[in-house]
Amino acid sequence: MNFSQRQADPRRHVVGLTVVILFHVFIVYALVTGLAKKVVDVVRAPIETKVIEEIKKPPPPPEIVLPPPPKLEAPPPPYIPPPEVQIATPPPPQPTISVAPSPTPPAPVDIRPQAPAPTAPAPAPAAPATVSAAVACSNYNTVMGDAGFPKEAIRQGLERGDALVQFTLSPNGEIRDVKAIRASHPTFARASTRIVGEYKCQGQGREVIVQVPFSYKLE
């Protein structure tokens, strides 16, 4: 096939017409939809360009070299002449005559034995302090509340009486030397000492005396 035959081929004309028609359709669509305006706006938009220069660091300042400090030497001390000392020659000693005094005999010493110093009397022992049984004994109120009129006094026909009981409380709380100092009847003395024996007391740090008064009345 030669060149003249290829130019007369109708298929190639159809393809070219089709391309031209599609191109015109695209242009008409662009004009209708505003695509061409957008393209023009984009093209007309100014293009801003900036030139960025590299920031150069300033060169470091030159190093300052200080001269070495001068050496200070102490000035020599001033010359001080030594003082002149004049030594006077002492005169020759004159001959003297001295008389030594005769020694005085010592006075006689009277040696006597000293009397012994009087001995101070020993201090009397301090009397133990007196405290109340309600303070020293924790169960005082309970024991006194349970105590009633002695049955022995009822058999003897006694209706009232009293007694005073005393005992010693040791530093560790032990009750010792329980005795009735005063009682209107021996029956009340025995009953009171028996009640004191039920006390439970606490030590007061030292030995103390405790006195407990009792009063009985038959109701």
Instruction: Report the range out of 35-49, 63-77, 187-201 with the highest average pLDDT.
Output: 187-201
Residue 188 burial (C-beta neighbours within 10 Å; 0-12, 13-18, 19+): buried
> What DSSP state is assigned to residue 208?
E
CATH number of 129-217: 3.30.2420.10
DSSP characters over 85-133: -PPPPPPPPPP----PPPPPPPPPP---PPPPPPPPPPPPPPPPEEEEH
- Phi (first) and psi of residue 11, to 5 degrees: -70, -35
Helix, strand, or coil (residue 156): coil
* pLDDT exceeds 60 at position 45: no
Is 179:165 a contact under the CB 8 Å cutoff?
A: yes
- What is the mean predicted confidence (pLDDT) over 169-195? 91
Instruction: Please report the pLDDT score of residue 95 as a whole number.
Output: 47
* pLDDT exceeds 50 at position 136: yes
Domain ranges of the chain: 3-39, 129-217
Q: What ranges in the chain are assigned the alpha helix state H?
A: 3-7, 10-33, 35-44, 133-136, 140-146, 151-155, 186-196
**Between 49 and 148, whose confidence is greater?**
148
Is 167:210 a contact under the CB 8 Å cutoff?
A: yes
* pLDDT exceeds 80 at position 72: no
* pLDDT exceeds 70 at position 185: yes
pLDDT 10s digits, 6-33: 555 666 677 778 888 888 888 888 777 7
pLDDT > 70: what percent of the chain?
63
**Between 131 and 115, whose confidence is greater?**
131
Residue 36: how many CB atoms within 10 A of its CB? 13
Instruction: Please report the pLDDT score of residue 166 as a whole number.
Output: 92
What pTM was computed for the model?
A: 0.42
* pLDDT exceeds 80 at position 205: yes
Contacts of 6 (CB under 8 A, 6+ apart): 12
Confidence class for position 99, pLDDT limits 50, 70, 90: very low
* pLDDT exceeds 60 at position 181: yes
